[in-house]
Structure 1
Amino acid sequence: MSPFKDLKLALEVLNQEGTYSEGDTVIGTLSFSLKSDTKVKSISVKAKGDANVLWTEDDETYSAHERYFKIKEDLVAKNPGGTVLPRGAHNINFTLKIPQGKMPSSFKKKNGKIVYMVEAKISRSWRWPSSVTTEIKFDSKSFPPIQQAMRPLNGSVDKELGTFSKGQLQMTASVNRGVCFPGETLSAYARICNSSSKNVKPKFSLHRKIVYRVKKHTKTSDKVIFKMVGDPITPRSEVTVPCAVKIPVDAVYTLHNCQIISVEYYLKVYLDVSFAFDPEVVFPLLVVPSNLVHAQLNEEVGHI
């Protein structure tokens, strides 16, 4: 039975979100209590960041691993003869500096994860080590430049109908920005000119595309995370359809700087046409932390 009671790791909170990023310092305390004097070989604390993917397909298992960093500090240095800790309560403070670099944000899905951890370990001779682990939420500072994506995105498509119907469809679509944050609502619209002989339905769908990679093998998940269907547009009419595109509060950030996992978003605006290929306009979107968007908006206001 382990003599270490109430073994805990407590980390200082750096911000309101409780997140860490490249270059931050993890400040924490390892605490425990001893009922009697106890000899230990060493006490250490480490922080690390790792990405893993795993899936099975056609009885074949694919897996890959990436390590972003691993740093370690000895809280009680290794001693061949051991170090005796007195009975009672112990609180050992430590600091670990996360290195600089372009590391991806935390991520967890069925087939892959990116996890950042802090672990403390107490080693004794001829005994299993005692350890305690806590996960930290990592928000990367590394994103594609968002200045260009702050502008409205526009696109258009024309389609000539035939076989089962006649006429032409024209659609112009727009979204107010190409960058957003979880919980935000974007403004989009579609202006449709239906010169055909049939009804068409305007639709808006927000997609999250995740790609897992193991060498030349990939596994892709493309999920619709928001959808809106407009009223049918009758023949020989022109209509403008607005749409409030809601970004889920729990949306993971765009992930572009991991070799084995990527996350992309795109908004598809299209017309549902029976017995024909649907004309569509597709807008790529960046989902980033809210502070990046607000900082860019404030900068633009300051330049006015």
Structure 2
Amino acid sequence: MQKRNVSHKNTSSAESGDGRDVLAEGHHEFNFTFVLPATGVTTSFEGKYGSVRYWLKAEVEKPWSFNHKTKKAFTVISPIDINRNEYLTAVESSVEKTLCCWCCTSGPISLYARTDRKGYCPGESIAITADFENLSGRTVVPHATLHQTQTFLAGGKSRSRHCKFTTVTGVALQPGRSANWDAQLLKIPAVSPSITNCCLIHVEYAVRITLQIPGAYNLFVDLPIVIGTVPLRARPPHYRTVGLPSQPQIHFYPAAPPYSEADTDDPLPVEPPPTYAECIEGSVDIGDDEDGEILGDTRFTPMYAYVQDYLYHPPPAYSEVDPHPSPQAEGAASGVSN
């Protein structure tokens, strides 16, 4: 696939002149301001075959000597608000297969899975509900994995990379048995948000629920989800807040002011704004051949919104018994009368 670079440059000189002002010996400071476009800006991303990268580059020309150059990257986050109705709807799917060995056919193996909603932010856990039925003669094992698909487009060709992040494994399911998951949690690490507004790079996510079958192709369903940047304004039903787990490998940074849309005036309680964590995939070197010699560190790690997790609590089981009976009802139930 041919490499293709698309760049937008905004240049500012030290003064209002032509950028060739002479600076006397001593310490000098200059203020620079660059305004990002209000719309159409893609989230920073570092991939194997391409990147979306924003940086500042400063240069001081020195007569009869090499110029001093420095380059610093920064993270830009395009808002994806998971409070939108389209991201609050559950995602579900089911699949079934029958195993055959020569002339013998076993009973079917079936799988149904559902997420509690479609949109999440890094730091949250996906609550998975699943039903497994194993009527075959083999022992199967359920798994759930967070999958990321990176698609790179250039020169009329495309190239993809598939990454696996967190995984949970269930209890082995013996032949003739069934089982279910009731809000099995799958943690979302500090990964890039979904990217769909870029003509060259797409980043998509799915939760894959798999039944691992020995000696046969595995049975699985993919539940597409969206990783957003604007967290829920109110806790979902049947959740309660828990503290962040100890993750020394993740660096957290202070929160920014909460994002708000002009057309949003819902009277929902506002949760604390997210912190920001360095991307789980680590740092990259932003230097290239065109830069020449750069002063300072050129390593860069994107930072993404990372919210406080919620602990999922399934809704209470339905019952005809009043959990808060009146004294009269209690007396009638026990056969006691005044």
Q: 2:121 aligned with 1:181, yes or no?
A: yes
Task: Report what 2:143 is aligned to.
Answer: 203
Q: Tell me how far 1:88 sits from its aligned partner.
A: 2.8
Deviations 1:141-188 (A, max 9, x none): 367994312222222222233326511222221111211111211111
What letter corresponds to residue 4 of structure 2 in structure 1? A
Superposed, 1:133-172 pairs within 5 Å as 133-141=71-79, 146-163=84-101, 165-172=105-112
Instruction: Answer yes or no: is the 8 Å Cα contact 2:93–2:113 preserved in 1.
Output: yes
Instruction: Answer yes or no: is the 8 Å Cα contact 1:102–1:142 preserved in 2.
Output: no
Task: Report what 2:208 is aligned to.
Answer: 268
Instruction: Answer yes or no: is the 8 Å Cα contact 2:82–2:120 preserved in 1.
Output: no
TM-score, structure 2 as length reference: 0.62
Q: 2:26 aligned with 1:88, yes or no?
A: yes
Partner of residue 226 from structure 1, selected from 135, 146, 166: 166
TM-score, structure 1 as length reference: 0.69
Larger deviation, residues 129-138 vs 167-176: 129-138
What value does the CA root-mean-square deviation take over the aligned residues?
Answer: 2.9
Deviations 1:205-261 (A, max 9, x none): 21111112222222211121122222221122221135311111x311111122222
Structure 2, unmatched stretches of 5+, are: 237-264, 270-338
Give 3-state SS (helix, strand or coil) of 2:175's partner: coil
What letter corresponds to residue 260 of structure 1 in structure 2? L
- Distance in 2 (alpha carbons) for counterparts of 1:229 and 1:79: 63
Task: Considering fraction of residues, name the structure with more strand.
Answer: 1
Deviations 1:69-89 (A, max 9, x none): 322223324469x64434332
Instruction: Answer yes or no: is the 8 Å Cα contact 2:143–2:167 preserved in 1.
Output: yes
Q: Percent identity?
A: 21
Give 3-state SS (helix, strand or coil) of 2:27's partner: strand
Q: Tell me how far 1:269 sits from its aligned partner.
A: 0.8
Deviations 1:52-107 (A, max 9, x none): xxxxxxxxx6201122x322223324469x64434332222232211223121111
Give 3-state SS (helix, strand or coil) of 1:139's partner: coil
Instruction: Answer yes or no: is the 8 Å Cα contact 1:179–1:293 preserved in 2.
Output: no
